[in-house]
Amino acid sequence: MSDAHVIVVGGGIAGITCADELAQMGIKVTLLEKEPEIGGWAADYCCKATDRCNRCYVCVSDKERENVRSMGEIALLTNSRVTEVSKNGSGYIVKISRSGDVEETHADAVIFATGFTPFDARKKGEYGYGRYADVLTGLDLERMLREKGNAFKPSDGKVPQSVAFIQCVGSRDESLGHLYCSKACCAYALRMARVIRNQNPESEIYFFYMDIQPAGRLFDETLKACEDDPNFHFVRAIPSKIYQYYQKPGLMMKVLNTEDGEIEERFFDMVVLSIGMEPNEENDLLWEGASLKPGSEGFLDPQSCDEGIFLAGTVSGPKDIERSIMDAKQTVLQTLRYLEGKS
Ligand SMILES: Cc1cc2nc3c(=O)[nH]c(=O)nc-3n(C[C@H](O)[C@H](O)[C@H](O)COP(=O)(O)OP(=O)(O)OC[C@H]3O[C@@H](n4cnc5c(N)ncnc54)[C@H](O)[C@@H]3O)c2cc1C
Ligand code: SF4
Ligand code: SF4
C-alpha cells in the first residue's frame, strides 16, 4: 500500500480534504483541478459573521485550501480537466487534458470529487434574473459580500432598504423535475440576510419559503435570531412573478398567499434567489469508463461505482461544507481499506 497512487478529481472542499487526509497517511496523491485555482464554489463565498461567528464554514474551507496549496506531499495539477477514466488491470488510466495536450496517468484508486453545478436562475424566467439588475442569486450575493464587503443594489450602488429572499429556486420544483432539497440554501440565505440586517439596521427582510431545512452548527440560533427580529418577516408563500415597470424604481412581486389563496403585489428594492445545486453537468463525460451511473436525481450513485472508484462531497448529492468534509473523510477510510485489501 505504501507505493499506492490515488488520483483525486476535483479540488473543491471535498477533494482537498481527501488529498490532505491521504497525504497525511503517507499515500501518494495527485489532486486534479480543471480551474486555475483549487477551492471549488466555496472559494467565492463570504464570511457570514454578524455580532459573532455564525459557523458558515467558509473560513474552514479557505484555510484548508491554503494548507493543501503549501503541502509538498500532494502533487497538485491545476488547469487539468479529467476527460476519461478507464479500467486498466487492477487500476485505472486517467486521461487529463492540460493546455491542449492530453496526458495519461495510472492510479490504483480514483476519487471523484467533481462537485455540483449551481442552478441557472435564468431557467425560472418568471423571476427576471438576467433582465432586472437588482434580482440576484445567492451566489451573486456571496460574491458581492466577499469582494465588496457590503450589500448594494447593482442598478445604482445604493444600500437596499427592503430585500426579499425567495427560497427553493431550482429545488423542490416539480416543473423542473427537481424534487430534492439542496440542503444548504436555507442556512446560507438566513445567514446572509442577517449580515444585511447587521449592516443596515433600517433594512427589512422578507423571507419567502415553503419549508426550512436546518443545516450546520448554530442553525437554530440563527433561525431564532431572525424570528425574534421585528424587521425580519417570514412569509410562507410562493412568489409567482417579478416585474419592473419602466422608469419606476423597485421590483414588483406577485405572491400567492398559501394561507388565503389570494394573489398579493409587493414591492422590494432587491430580490435574492436562493438557488440550489444541480448535478455537475460534466459528470456524463466521466461516467462511461468508470461505470458510474446517476441516481434518480442525476447525482452520481455511490452504489454504481466499480471497485477502486470512490465519490466524495456533493458529486453524490447536495451537502453543505461541513457535511462535504465529513463525507470526504468517510471516503478516505473506504479508500484506505480498499488499498489495504489490494496489497
Ligand atoms: C449559492 C450557494 C451558497 C452556499 N453557501 C454555503 C455556505 O455558506 N456554507 C456551507 O456550508 N455551504 C454552502 N454552500 C454549499 C457548498 O457550496 C458545498 O457544500 C461545497 O461547495 C461542496 O464542495 P465540493 O467539493 O463537493 O464541490 P465543488 O465546490 O463543486 O468542487 C468541485 C471541484 O471539482 C472541479 N471539477 C469538476 N469537474 C472536473 C473535472 N472533470 N476535472 C477536474 N476538476 C473538475 C471543479 O472545478 C471544482 O473545483 C452553498 C451552495 C450554494 C449553491
Ligand atoms: S465560520 Fe463563517 S461566519 Fe464564522 S468566522 Fe468563519 S467565515 Fe465567518
Ligand atoms: S435548503 Fe431550504 S431553500 Fe434549499 S431546497 Fe431545501 S428547503 Fe428549499
- Which CATH number applies to 119-276: 3.30.56.10, 3.40.50.720, 3.50.50.60, 3.30.2320.80? 3.50.50.60
- Say which ligand is closest to the CA of 47: 2
Q: Is the CB of 58 under 6 A from ligand 2?
A: yes
From the CA of 13, give the closest atom in ligand 1.
Answer: 25
> How many whole angstroms separate alpha carbon 106 and alpha carbon 129?
44
Span 278-332, pLDDT tens digits: 999 877 766 666 667 788 788 988 888 889 999 999 999 999 999 999 999 999 9
Rounded-to-integer distance, Cα 249 and Cα 255, Å: 19
- Closest ligand by atom to 178 CA: 3
Architecture of the domain delimited by 5-115+280-342: 3-Layer(bba) Sandwich (3.50)
**What are the C-alpha distances in Å from 110 to residues 4, 276, 323, 328, 334?**
11, 27, 21, 13, 12
Nearest CA to ligand 2 atom 2: 56
All three cell numbers of 67 = 494548507
Indicate the top mutation candidate among 179, 180, 274, 320 to test ligand 3's pocket, ranked by most ligand atoms within 8 A of CB: 274
* Alpha-carbon span 29 to 74, nearest angstrom: 5
Instruction: Write down the pLDDT at residue 218.
Output: 85
pTM for the predicted model, two decimal places: 0.96
Domain with CATH 3.50.50.60 in the chain: 5-115+280-342, 119-276
> In the predicted model, what is the mean pLDDT of the chain?
93
For the chain of 343 residues, list the mean pLDDT of each consecutive stretch of 10. Answer: 88 98 96 97 97 95 96 93 87 91 95 96 97 97 98 96 97 89 96 97 96 87 96 92 84 86 91 96 70 81 88 96 98 97 82
* Angle formed by the axes of helices 321-342 and 13-24, nearest 10°: 40
